[in-house]
Amino acid sequence: MNKMIENEMNSMEFQEEEAPLFDFKQLWMLFVLNWRWFIVSVVACVMIAFVYLWFRPNPVIVSSNMQILGESKQGGGAAAMAAKALDALPISLGSSVSTGSEGIETVKRMLTSTTLIRNVVKDLGLYAEYSVDSWGRNYVLYKTQPIVVTLDPAHLRWFDEETLTAYHEIDLTIHKTGDGYYVKTIADKIELPEQTFKSLPATVKTDIGTLTIAANPHMNAQQAAAYAGDFKINVSVVPPKAMAAKLAAAMAVEPPFKNISDVVAISIQEENYLRGIEFINALVDRYNKRINEQKDEEVRKSEEFVNERLAKLDIELGSSDADWQHYKEDKKIIDPESEATAVIEKKEMAETSLLDLNVQLALHDYQAEYITDPVNLFKVYPEVSSSGVSSSRSASGGPASGSAGTVGTQSTSSIGRHNDLVIQRDDLLKSMSEKAPQIQRINEKIKELQTTILLELNRNRQQILIQRRPIERELNKALNRFSQAPKMEREMTDIERQREIKQGVYITMLQKREEVAADLARSMKKGQLIDDPMILSAGQTKPEFVLLGAILLGFMLPIGIMLLIQMLKTKVDTKQELEETSKLSILSEVFLTNNDDAIRALRTNLLYNLKDGQNVIMLASHNKGDGKTYLAQRLVDSLTQIGKKAQYLNLNLREDRSKAAQAADLLAGADVAKQVESLKAANDYLILDTPEMGKYADIYQVAQFADATIFVVKAESTDKSAVKEIAKDARIPNPMLVLNAIDMSKKKYQYLYK
């Protein structure tokens, strides 16, 4: 008999397998059992993807590379010759306005600034967007539309001014038929009465501006023929600032490769590639125009300084000439040069050197006068170079002590830093107020730099004076050696010296004015497209990726829903769920029909799990109708078939109406205990039937007689919580499980038990 049980046991599979992270078998079962839903889901997702691909905007990326150019003086004609000649002048006020090669970050910020882009929007008329509808899709037009809509300039400016507090928009639908043009207008979401025009141009007046509708003069013959018949055009007029912000968000300005500092790639995502190409071209043109405007402003400031100094020199030269004339008339001198030839020849070299230094000192003093004036604190300072006095010689023909060619180098450097800060401040003031933190920081830097500039100016002046002293001593020695020369000659020499100084400065200023004029005439280019704008790629995900994603979503969506249902499900359906819910031994899985083998497996596994002396088994369930009575009787019959004496005892007194009211008392009484002991002694196994646990507590009275418990779990009926509770209940002796009432007519069970 024991060998029979062992053979039956060997035919059963008891090996526990570790649950994988993903149960592919369960996923496959879900697919097999619900394949129709998978097909419906995939078809629905693919259809949605087709609808999305059809109606979505279809932008492209237009890109080009721009080279950042440094300042260059090379050119043709008089401008190049003037630039070359002016390099040798002792003063270089505003010469060749240059900031060197622009930094990548600076160029990026300028190219993506809404101020610059707004000018491009106005230049190209991009504040009016044209589109047509075809088969449910919206196509953006640019320069190929049959009409052009413009808003009056006053309200166009007002649109931008109101952007911070209110957004304004005018939408038009222009429908052309054989009778004329029908215009439907919506201004700030207020629909206006439809207007009809026999011909164009026409005007449409709204509360927020007057629109002018005219024929597009830029269409070619082929485009004009396409709109010769009826057509319908949609037009949206928006604030230029809002359109600029939209275009800036669609832009990207980055170096095409790492470690490149003089080339940037400009790209924009646009629905109309022609509009993207023209936008990039116009953006670079506007960028160069803005640079030239900044340069012209700096040159104009230098021009004001030069003209102011020339006016003063005119007065001073007139006074010097008058003094010279009066002196000659008083002394009755006709040819003073011939009378003083001997003295001039001996002191010529000293005077020449002294004259050069005095000219430099006068220029230095003019510069210091301009810089020390508080009114000019935030203006561009003139830069004085000493290159005009390259060397000096003493009266004896030897070189003068010191080198004038080094004077002013540090001052020029400090003034250059000051001018850079002023230009940066003026540029920032175009887009923010003087109280902005950036402006205040620049103001502080300018004020701090002022002290350095003044100290360097004073030091440079002292250097000039130090160089002048030995030359003056040499000149005085020459004058002493010719003390017999008339006093008149010395006085005339002083007057002539002053005249020559002023004339030298005057000539320098005239040359500087020519340089400024050359700078104004010469346009400067800071950016240049080195490639024609071209279409790189589609701006959105490719259609094949969208469709592939739709197919994957179509498969994953039903799986996700079914797994979610499984997670939220509270009933026990399968042995796998029963194993996941409780660690108790599962004796068998019993079908609704053809369950003889399942009953044998229940008997075999029960005997295997029982220990010596354990022969009273009670069957329990959570609900009525779970099949415990049926299994109890079948188990008795099965034990009898293998030669065991087994007895069924029904202790479910709740079914007997005469005993139901006092069932708990009867089960606790001595009569039931005696009956159980009697049957236990007379049989090998005693099978006890009990009331349902979910409604009554009678089972705990019966549990005192039992050695083991079979808890009947009805498939698709018993709650998982009830299974968990039976495992935790210490009052239930040796609990084991059986999955009952498996309906093999259902597809999921056919798949599991086929």
Question: Could you write out the three-class secondary structure of 323-357?
Answer: HHHHHHHHHCCCCHHHHCHHHHHHHHHHHHHHHHH
Distance CA(335)–CA(748), nearest Å, equals 132
How far are the Cα atoms of 146, 177, 204, 216 from residue 180, in angstroms, in the given order?
14, 5, 15, 16
Q: Specify the pLDDT at position 74.
A: 38
Q: Specify the pLDDT at position 344.
A: 65
Q: Specify the pLDDT at position 492.
A: 67
Decide the pairing of beta strands 231-237 and 128-134. Answer: antiparallel
Residue 196 belongs to what H/E stretch?
Answer: strand 195-197
Q: Which residues contact 564 (CB under 8 A, 6 or more apart)?
A: none
Distance CA(729)–CA(403), nearest Å, equals 108
Rg (alpha carbons) of the chain, rounded to whole number:
52
Decide the pairing of beta strands 616-621 and 708-714. Answer: parallel
CB atoms within 10 A of CB 439: 16
Q: Which residues contact 447 (CB under 8 A, 6 or more apart)?
A: 377
Distance CA(601)–CA(8), nearest Å, equals 8
In 109-201, beta strands by DSSP E: 128-134, 137-141, 147-151, 170-177, 180-187, 190-191, 195-197
Distance CA(37)–CA(16), nearest Å, equals 33
Q: Specify the pLDDT at position 316.
A: 66
Q: Which residues contact 546 (CB under 8 A, 6 or more apart)?
A: 49, 52, 53
Q: Which residues contact 671 (CB under 8 A, 6 or more apart)?
A: none
Instruction: For the chain, report the end-to-end CA distance as a whole number of angstroms.
Output: 31
Q: Are 311 and 141 in contact (CB under 8 A)?
A: no
Q: Are 433 and 490 in contact (CB under 8 A)?
A: no
Q: Specify the pLDDT at position 257.
A: 81
Q: Specify the pLDDT at position 447.
A: 86
Token digits of residue 679 = 């049957």
Q: Are 690 and 702 in contact (CB under 8 A)?
A: yes
Q: Specify the pLDDT at position 11.
A: 40
Residue 62 belongs to what H/E stretch?
Answer: strand 60-68
Distance CA(502)–CA(509), nearest Å, equals 10
Q: Specify the pLDDT at position 6.
A: 47
Q: State the residue for tokens 């450097």.
A: 413
Distance CA(628)–CA(622), nearest Å, equals 10
Q: State the residue for tokens 């003068």.
A: 400
Q: Specify the pLDDT at position 17.
A: 44
Paired with 535 in beta bridges are 62
Q: State the residue for tokens 């009211």.
A: 661
Q: Are 204 and 195 in contact (CB under 8 A)?
A: yes
Helix, strand, or coil (residue 461): helix
Q: Which residues contact 446 (CB under 8 A, 6 or more apart)?
A: 377, 378, 418, 421, 422, 425
How far are the Cα atoms of 335, 492, 493 from residue 327, in angstroms, in the given order?
13, 8, 11
24-33 vs 35-55: helix crossing angle, rounded to 10: 80
Distance CA(372)–CA(366), nearest Å, equals 10
Q: Are 298 and 423 in contact (CB under 8 A)?
A: yes
Query: What does the DSSP 8-state code read for residue 501?
Result: H
- Helices (runs of H) and strands (runs of E) counted in the chain: 25, 21
Distance CA(358)–CA(388), nearest Å, equals 12
Q: Are 343 and 491 in contact (CB under 8 A)?
A: no
Distance CA(277)–CA(532), nearest Å, equals 8
Whether omega before 146 lies within 30 degrees of 0, making that bond cis, reads: no
- Which of 18, 231, 268, 10 minimizes the C-alpha distance to 124? 268
Decide the pairing of beta strands 209-215 and 231-237. Answer: unpaired
Q: Please give the single-letter amino acid code of residue 398.
A: G
Q: Which residues contact 512 (CB under 8 A, 6 or more apart)?
A: 86, 89, 91, 93, 302, 306
Q: State the residue for tokens 């929007």.
A: 121
- Which of 423, 414, 415 minimizes the C-alpha distance to 442? 423
How far are the Cα atoms of 183, 187, 194, 199, 590 from residue 205, in angstroms, in the given order?
12, 10, 12, 17, 85
Token digits of residue 373 = 């004036």
Q: Please give the single-letter amino acid code of residue 271.
A: E
Residue 129 belongs to what H/E stretch?
Answer: strand 128-134
- Binned average pLDDT, 10 residues per bin, the chain of 754 residues: 44 42 64 81 88 76 86 41 42 39 76 92 93 84 92 93 91 92 93 92 93 90 86 94 93 85 88 90 89 70 72 68 65 57 68 83 86 85 56 36 39 77 86 85 88 88 88 76 57 70 75 67 71 72 81 87 81 89 94 93 95 94 94 96 95 86 87 93 95 92 95 94 92 96 85 74
Q: Are 646 and 683 in contact (CB under 8 A)?
A: yes
Buried b / exposed e along 724-753 (16+ C-beta atoms within 10 A): ebbeebeebbbbbbbbbbbeeeeebbeebe
Distance CA(656)–CA(663), nearest Å, equals 9
CB atoms within 10 A of CB 269: 19
